[in-house]
């Protein structure tokens, strides 16, 4: 993965400046932070930039530029300075703190301004350690936080996945975040949003990380690479009759390290679907700040597709479908219905899984654990 996104050009610098200005007006961060973020964005292309040019571009004195550079250095940026030449970034910190990650969040490709609806990532809430990013954001949602609010947690001690499973996030290895949506859609369409979250992550991995057809989605929203689980998603919503007040999408990505060594094993998940990291499949360390920015952009596009055209979303989802045409067994609930065994036909327009059983009846499945099984001879 390249250190610098190819699309971070002069046009995007203007977009970043405009977004920073909007964010300051909305009270999302202070003017001092804004100056530092604008400077950081200009250094992210990895090229040498003169202090004079930075001062002129940002409307600052040379001394103010130097002060902001020193602040970035104290945050872990490796910035080389050459007298008479300028500044050059040699390494960006692999940090999710605002000073390191926000430039990537603001550099999303989609031309949406903070506060305009649809922009994902602001307000940006960072916690070094928390019980659960979803719990934090659900509390913010109840207080009236705007759509697009983001909670990023470095280490999560009580994270959970689907069906109450425990999700582990170790500091420095994973990317654990929760996004707030306030969807304007009918309750019957709510099932599309967890699928859209999985599609957004799959797009980022397939397109931006270059993994292509190695990426798949196991219904409803586990994202796999070469059959191993890279990402899990937990969506929680507040609904009332036919209205959806908010939805929190909690996303955990195995970025670096060896997650199979520490992820809890429940004896149900097949070994071939064990956790893997992007570092393992790409063969190199992956910086999490740029990855977060890329994923927010593709998530925004996927959520927009769900709102605009649910059938188109299902078609795109189908291109990554890990289970289509496979013989599966579905565990439906705990102590309730017996397991369902059959062939997966695809995904319905409401997001449910369609399974053809032994009687050739097509059964829609809206919840449960689904596993591939070997045909019996």
CATH code of the domain covering residue 15: 1.10.10.10
Is 114 among the domain residues?
A: no
Question: What is the arithmetic mean of pLDDT over 162-173?
Answer: 65
At which residue do the structure tokens 């306030």 appear?
Answer: 182
The rounded distance, in Å, linking the Cα atoms of 300 and 293 is 11
Q: Are 71 and 38 in contact (CB under 8 A)?
A: no
At which residue do the structure tokens 């795109």 appear?
Answer: 316
Q: What is the pLDDT of residues 46-71, one digit of tens each?
A: 789 999 999 998 999 999 999 999 98
Q: What is the DSSP string of 14-45?
A: HHHHHHHHHHHHTTSS-HHHHHHHHHHHHHTT
- 24 with 81, same domain: the answer is yes
Split into its structural domains, the chain has a count of 3
- 191 with 292, same domain: the answer is yes
Q: Are 338 and 357 in contact (CB under 8 A)?
A: no
Give the residue from 39, 36, 32, 46 showing the smallest Cα distance to 3: 46
Q: What is the pLDDT of residues 286-302, one digit of tens each?
A: 889 889 988 998 999 99
Q: Are 252 and 175 in contact (CB under 8 A)?
A: yes
| CATH number reported for the structural domain that contains residue 332 in this entry | 2.30.30.100
Give the residue from 247, 184, 253 showing the smallest Cα distance to 224: 253
Is 100 among the domain residues?
A: no
- 41 with 143, same domain: the answer is no
- 182 with 304, same domain: the answer is yes
The rounded distance, in Å, linking the Cα atoms of 352 and 188 is 11
- 271 with 353, same domain: the answer is no
Q: Residue 186 — very low, low, confident or very high, per pLDDT cuts 50/70/90?
A: confident
Based on C-alpha coordinates, what's the Rg of the chain? 22
Check pLDDT > 50 for residue 204. yes
Q: Residue 166 — very low, low, confident or very high, per pLDDT cuts 50/70/90?
A: low
Structure tokens at 317: 């989802």
Give the residue from 251, 91, 248 showing the smallest Cα distance to 161: 251
Dihedral (CA of 210, 290, 3, 130) sign: negative
- 48 with 87, same domain: the answer is yes
Check pLDDT > 50 for residue 101. yes
Is 80 among the domain residues?
A: yes
Question: What is the arithmetic mean of pLDDT over 343-364?
Answer: 95
Report the b/e string of 176-191 with b at 16+ CB within 10 A. Answer: bbbbbbbbebeeebbb
Q: What's residue 169's pLDDT? A: 67
């Amino acid at each position: 993965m390249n250190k610098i996104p190819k699309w971070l050009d002069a046009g995007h610098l203007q977009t970043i400046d405009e977004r920073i200005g909007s964010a300051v007006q909305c009270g999302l961060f202070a003017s001092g932070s804004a100056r530092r973020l604008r400077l950081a964005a200009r250094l992210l292309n990895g090229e040498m930039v003169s202090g004079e040019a930075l001062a002129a571009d940002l409307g600052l004195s040379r001394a103010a530029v130097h002060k902001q550079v020193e602040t970035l250095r104290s945050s872990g940026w490796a910035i080389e300075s050459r007298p008479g030449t300028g500044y050059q970034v040699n390494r960006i910190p692999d940090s999710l703190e605002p000073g390191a990650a926000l430039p990537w969040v603001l550099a999303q490709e989609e031309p949406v301004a903070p506060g305009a609806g649809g922009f994902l990532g602001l307000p940006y809430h960072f916690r070094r350690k928390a019980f659960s990013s979803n719990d934090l954001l659900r509390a913010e949602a109840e207080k009236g936080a705007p759509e697009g609010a983001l909670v990023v947690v470095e280490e999560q001690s009580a994270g959970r996945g689907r069906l109450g499973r425990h999700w582990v996030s170790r500091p420095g290895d994973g990317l654990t975040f929760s996004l707030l949506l306030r969807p304007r859609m009918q309750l019957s369409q709510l099932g599309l949003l967890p699928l859209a979250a999985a599609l957004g992550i799959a797009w980022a991995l397939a397109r931006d990380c270059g993994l292509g057809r190695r990426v798949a989605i196991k219904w409803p929203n586990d994202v796999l690479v070469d059959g191993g689980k890279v990402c899990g998603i937990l969506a929680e919503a507040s609904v009332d009759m036919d209205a959806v007040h908010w939805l929190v999408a909690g996303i955990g990505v195995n970025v670096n390290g060896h997650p199979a060594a520490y992820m809890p094993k429940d004896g149900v998940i097949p070994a071939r679907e064990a956790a893997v990291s992007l570092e393992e499949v790409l063969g190199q360390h992956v910086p999490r700040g740029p990855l977060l920015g890329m994923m927010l952009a593709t998530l925004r596009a996927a959520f927009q597709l769900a709102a605009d055209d649910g059938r188109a979303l299902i078609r795109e989802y189908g291109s990554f479908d890990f289970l289509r045409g496979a013989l599966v067994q579905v565990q439906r609930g705990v102590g309730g219905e017996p397991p369902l065994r059959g062939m997966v036909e695809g995904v319905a327009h409401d997001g449910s899984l369609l399974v053809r059983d032994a009687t050739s009846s097509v059964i829609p499945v809206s919840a449960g654990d689904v596993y591939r099984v070997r045909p019996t001879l």
